[in-house]
């Protein structure tokens, strides 16, 4: 991406010993600012406040956060160290409840810390947190390779929310097939849902596509049906925050509506997600906890004014009541397939998911 008029390769998040550095996604697209998190409590706040967001990036942040906690507890004896790590992992798990990547990252780090001295456990946690990031990078690129094969020349693709490099290092999930198509000089066009209420499509996906010089147009969330019925959309690709073993999928609020519209208009609807986003202990979408966020995200809007100053504006009457579920569940019957690092998973999903990730 271009930062300060220079083209640079920047990861959304990285660990430098006990410090975590990440792009503050709250300021995009108006400003690219890299913030430093000095301890695991700061990392928890960054996850909660969505300085870092996207299922994959949240998972990496959680793994790095536990590495921070381990390094903070290096002077404790083994018993106190284990208690400290358990408390830190519980706090990290509570920061965002829907995305399963977070739990998988914590579980992986805890598993490698079951044996050994304090020093050995710290090293194992740090190594595993780094491996989680490395595995995500590899999965991201493979999702692009497999997903690109589903895109015909001159395909018009609809996306929802943000599932690019900021949400999942290093090419994203839903955007990875699009990036791969661009790399292979395959002409494509992307319709970008704005994705209310936080506008991750408008603020981040559109910005990422512009940096990649991929043709796109931003549309309001309610316009998807208009473009579908007028034959402007050939395929829909979205990311996922959690996928049940039967294929029911939790993703950003509004995904379910797009899936129903796609089925009604005979448009393929694909979910791009790595193994870390599948929850094999969850039988169906009914068991997925849905995060509800502040009503202020709906009643207010933020951005920059004509003087390039950040501002927040109330767009409703005072004391307006608002409900703000952050995710919804798309039933498996509306999904054409899952684009994963293992390849394309087809129906029946319960069988293909279990076979791919057993």
Active site residues: 241
The helix (run of H) or strand (run of E) holding residue 103 is helix 100-111
Quick one: 33 exposed, middle or buried, by C-beta within 10 A (0-12, 13-18, 19+)? middle
| Beta-bridge partner residues of 304 | 310
Phi, psi of 155 (to 5 degrees): -65, 140
In angstroms, the CA 324 to CA 93 distance is 21
Cα gap 27→282, rounded to integer Å: 35
Helix (H) or strand (E) holding 14: strand 13-16
Q: In the structure encoding, which two tokens stand for residue 272, read together? A: 């791009």
Sorted by sequence, the CB contacts under 8 Å of residue 315 that are 6+ apart come out as 299, 300, 301
The answer to whether the CB of 111 falls within 8 A of the CB of 99 is no
Burial (Cβ within 10 Å: 0-12, 13-18, ≥19) of residue 90: exposed
């Amino acid at each position: 991406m271009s930062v300060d008029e220079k083209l640079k390769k920047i990861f959304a998040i990285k660990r430098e010993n006990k410090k975590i550095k990440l792009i503050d996604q709250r300021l995009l697209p108006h400003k690219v600012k890299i913030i430093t998190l000095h301890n695991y409590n700061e990392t928890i706040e960054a996850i909660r406040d969505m300085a870092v967001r996207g299922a994959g990036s949240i998972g990496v942040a959680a793994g790095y956060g536990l590495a921070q906690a381990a390094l903070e507890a290096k002077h404790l004896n083994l018993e106190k160290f284990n208690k400290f790590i358990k408390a830190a992992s519980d706090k990290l798990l509570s920061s965002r409840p829907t995305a399963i990547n977070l739990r998988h990252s914590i579980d992986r780090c805890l598993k490698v810390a079951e044996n050994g001295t304090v020093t050995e456990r710290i090293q194992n946690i740090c190594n595993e947190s780094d491996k989680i990031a490395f595995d995500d990078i590899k999965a991201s690129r493979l999702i692009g390779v497999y997903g690109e094969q589903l895109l015909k020349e001159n395909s018009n693709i609809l996306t929802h929310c943000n599932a690019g490099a900021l949400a999942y290092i290093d090419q994203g999930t839903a955007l990875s097939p699009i990036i791969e198509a661009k790399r292979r000089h395959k002409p494509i066009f992307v319709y970008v849902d704005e994705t209310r209420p936080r506008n991750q499509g408008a603020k981040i996906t559109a910005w990422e596509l512009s940096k990649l010089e991929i043709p796109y147009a931003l549309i309001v969330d309610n316009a998807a049906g208009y473009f579908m019925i007028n034959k402007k959309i050939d395929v829909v690709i979205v990311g996922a925050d959690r996928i049940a073993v039967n294929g029911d999928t939790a993703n950003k609020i509004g995904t379910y509506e797009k899936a129903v519209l796609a089925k009604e208009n005979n448009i393929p609807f694909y979910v791009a997600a790595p193994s870390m986003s599948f929850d094999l202990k969850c039988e169906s979408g009914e068991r997925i906890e849905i995060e509800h966020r502040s009503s202020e995200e709906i009643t207010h809007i933020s951005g920059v004014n004509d003087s390039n100053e950040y501002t927040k504006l109330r767009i409703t009457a005072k004391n307006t009541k608002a409900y703000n579920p952050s995710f919804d569940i798309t039933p498996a019957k509306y999904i054409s397939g899952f684009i994963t690092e293992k390849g394309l998973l087809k129906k029946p999903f319960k069988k293909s998911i279990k076979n791919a990730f057993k």
